[in-house]
Amino acid sequence: MTESSPADPQPTEPTGWLSLPDVAERLEVTISKVHQMIRDRELLAVRRDGTRVVPAELVANRTARKHLPGILTLLHDAGYDDEAALRWLYLPDDTLPGTPAAALGDDRAREVKRRAQATGF
């Protein structure tokens, strides 16, 4: 990846974070299942202040966002680690508008998936 210049848009921060126990409660699963979902790239978790957390908007009601696992797999296959995938998901994009993470919650999710697929080429 290249370094950003001052003109490059900077990623925004997620509106909130959920601890892994909070994710388990929201999804009504065990904490072991949450760890498995992270390993299987069904959820994205990063470390903040020494604790693994998940962006709150990636957990919709009692499920992860529908297209998130596929997008995470595509980004990982393109060489993105979890922090880089988080930056990609929260990079402002005027053509969506908003960020790819925000677009996962509506009818633009397939376009986000297409763009994630293009990162590998």
Q: What band does 67 get if pLDDT is binned at 50, 70 and 90?
A: confident
What the block records as the tokens of 89 is 């998901």
Q: For 68-102, how does the pLDDT look when each residue is reduced to its tens digit (9 = 90+)?
A: 999 999 999 999 999 999 999 999 988 887 899 98
pTM: 0.84
- Give the orientation angle of helix 82-89 with respect to helix 68-77, to 10 degrees: 120
pLDDT attached to residue 91: 92
